[in-house]
Amino acid sequence: MSTVYEYAVLRVVPRADREESLNGGVLLYCRDRKFLAAGVELDEHRLRALDPTADVETVLALLSAVADGCATAPDPGRHFRWLTAPRSTVVRPGPVHTGFADDPAVELDRLLTLLVRPLG
Cα 60 off chain centre by: 12
Q: Is 11 buried (19+), middle (13-18) or exposed (0-12) by CB count in 10 A? A: middle
Q: What is the pLDDT of residue 83?
A: 95
Stated pTM of the model: 0.93
Q: What is the pLDDT of residue 73?
A: 94
Q: What is the pLDDT along the chain (120 residues), one digit of tens a residue?
A: 899 999 999 999 999 889 899 999 999 999 999 999 999 999 999 999 999 999 999 999 999 999 999 999 999 999 999 999 988 889 999 999 999 999 999 999 999 999 999 987
Q: What is the pLDDT of residue 64?
A: 96
